[in-house]
Structure 1
Amino acid sequence: MSSSAPPASPPPSPQKAGKSRSLVDGSTLFVLTLVLVGAFFVWRRDGWGGVWHVLAEDSWLFVDILPKVLAGCLIGAFVTVLLPREMVTRWVGGESGLTGLVIATAIGAVLPGGPFTIYPLAGAFLTIGAGIGPVVAFVTSWTLIGLNRAIIWEVPFLGFDFVTTRMLISLPMPILAGLGARALARFVAGSLKT
């Protein structure tokens, strides 16, 4: 007599784990409004030829950026499936305290890549249980400290002494930003409940 275990349920999809996203939200409408206003002013100044020129030039930029954006979004999607939610919540969740902020700061400082990688990863971390404070610390650390960028670009142009000074001054900023974001998120959540 063989006992068969019930089949394991598949992990929840990223869309089910977090909030469902609308294709067109407020930020998209805002950016589209800016595009239309810009197009209107170019049309007023240069006519339809000016508008078509901008569209033709930007379509090459779009073709160049699209694979990078797609790769970054796929990295974020894979992270949501591969990293256990419990581990993320324990190490960098909303209740992870100062330890979570330090871990997120360290990850942001050493993680290479551009905004096409970092922002999808930050979104993925939020989706799978990271707290707002650690995610703010992660993005701030990548922006301010970024060891990869410092080694490749800053040291050759600005020198080791300058980069060391800049990084030491920047070091507490991600932690402070994370603490501020955590406090602000709690304040906003508390004011919405009342």
Structure 2
Amino acid sequence: MTQTTLILSLAAIILIAVNAKKTGKHYKGLKSGLMQFLKTAPVILGAFILAGLIEVLIPKEFVQNWLSKEAGLKGIVLGTFGGMLLAMGPYAFYPIVASILASGAGLGTIISIITGWALLSLSKFPYEAGFFGIRFTVKKLIYSIPFCFIAGLITYILELTILS
């Protein structure tokens, strides 16, 4: 995380300097960025609080039986459909999934959650149906489900063999 913060900070400083030299609108850009931060800060704060609570409140038995590496295909199936049901943006999603991983979930389960969220998220369904039509959206949903299982299964196999 520290390396990512350093790289993003360096990129921001470079962009501010280039913008200041070329257009002189760097203050406008900084103000816009600050406004975006102020709008998203409550969501991010809430997500981190929720992530911390999830990490502490999820019973170890539940993680062991349903989400861990030992849960196998159960975790992959649960992860796929759990990711599908997580109707939230990345600012909230990633801290929550990171806390599930920290609670002891297997990598196959986590990859299934992430791919389920990215490909199947029901929060995107109305937009996809509106722009592409219901027929396309249902086909996309049906065709995407196997990818979540396959991604989780490949990760699970790698976790059992190479990563152990």
Residue 43 in 1 paired to residue 52 in 2? Answer: no
Deviations 1:44-86 (A, max 9, x none): 312xx42222111111111101011111111111111221122
Deviation at 1:25? Answer: 1.3
Counterpart residue identity of residue 105, structure 2: A
Give distance in 1, aligned partners of 2:20 and 2:151.
Answer: 42
CA RMSD of aligned residues (A): 1.8
User: Structure 1: how far apart are the matches of 2:28 and 2:134?
Assistant: 44
* Residue matched to 2:83: 108
Q: Cα deviations across residues 113-152 of structure 1 (Å, max 9, x unaligned)?
A: 22222111101101111111111110110110112321x2
Partner of 2:103: 128
Distance (Å, rounded) in 1 between the aligned partners of 2:16 and 2:155: 36
Asked whether the 8 Å contact 2:84–2:122 carries over to 1, the reply is yes
Equivalences for 1:1-194 in 2 at 5 Å?
25-46=2-23, 49-150=24-125, 152-185=126-159, 189=163
Whichever residue aligns with residue 99 of structure 1, its letter is K
Work out the CA distance in 2 between the residues paired with 1:133 and 1:156.
32
Cα separation, 2, equivalents of 1:86 and 1:26? 34
Which runs of 5 or more structure 1 residues have no equivalent in the other structure?
A: 1-23
Deviation at 1:165? 0.7
Shift of 1:179: 2.4
- In structure 2, what is the Cα distance between the partners aligned to 1:184 and 1:53? 48
Aligned residues of 2:51 and 2:96 also touching (Cα < 8 A): yes
Paired residues, number:
164
1:84-115 Cα offsets, whole Å, 9 max, x none, are 12211221112221121001101111222222
Aligned counterparts of 2:91 and 2:70: Cα–Cα separation in 1: 28
Mean Cα deviation higher: 27-36 or 138-147: 27-36
Match of 1:13 in 2: none
Q: 1:89·1:131 contact (CA, 8 Å) conserved in 2?
A: no
C-alpha contact (below 8 Å) 2:72/2:156 kept by paired residues: no
2 CA distance for matches of 1:147 and 1:110? Answer: 6
Q: Distance in 2 between matches of 1:148 and 1:142?
A: 9
Q: Write 1 or 2 for the structure with the bigger share of helix.
A: 2
Give % identity: 27
- In terms of Rg, which structure is larger? 1
Q: Which runs of 5+ in 2 are unaligned?
A: none
Measure, in 2, the Cα distance between the counterparts of 1:34 and 1:184. 34
